[in-house]
Amino acid sequence: MLSVIIPTLDSERLLVPTLAALVSGATEGLVSEVQLADGGSRDDTAAIADVTGCNVLRLEGSLGARLKAAAAAARAPWLLFLRPGIVLDPAWIGEARRFIELARDGARAAAFRRGASAGSPWREALAQAMAALGTAPRPCQGLLISRQFYDALGGHDGSAADPEADLMRRIGRRRIARLTAAAHLASQNT
């Protein structure tokens, strides 16, 4: 039902908490595969992927090109793009499933609520206030999108300076639903 795509580059420390949060989604049948779009890691990213059953696509090129190639290789009709170090609340499974079931036309996407991180409390308060005012979601909140809609948009742009933010901009704020489950940034010391 859902392919998770995570871009990696020497991401072993941040990858572990992200993958741990996805285990329950796999056991409940929501996550059918995890694709790592790896840009040439020299750390133990590949070993972690092997132990956890992730597919590693070793790809050269820009972040946008790697994400687009991983999306093309994904088998599920829905894609979830996550950055390494993002940890989803346990409620993400039910919310994602509900969103997928209700998004019949597939011409919408969803992002998770921005959760707390190891950053400054003032920075977090500002981020929450901006979200309440209706600012556009950011790539650190993840992106849940149907493959059909992703392909219709042309996927990630390999030449964009920030291909994840560029894709969210092209989707448009009004077509990105806000899920109430949070996406937290894991501590760098994980």
The class of domain 2-185 in CATH terms is alpha beta
The 10s digit of each residue's pLDDT in 100-137 is 999 876 678 999 998 865 455 555 555 555 555 556 68
CA distances from 26 to 22, 41, 117 (A): 7, 25, 25
The Cα 62–Cα 144 span in angstroms is: 21
The Cα 29–Cα 108 span in angstroms is: 22
Share of the chain above pLDDT 70, in %: 86
pTM: 0.89
The Cα 70–Cα 156 span in angstroms is: 10
The 10s digit of each residue's pLDDT in 26-72 is 999 999 999 999 999 999 999 999 999 999 999 999 999 999 999 99
Q: Is the pLDDT of residue 165 over 70?
A: yes
How much is the average pLDDT of 85-104?
Answer: 94
Q: Is the pLDDT of residue 166 over 70?
A: yes
Residues with Cβ within 8 Å of residue 99, at least 6 apart in sequence: 110, 144, 177, 179
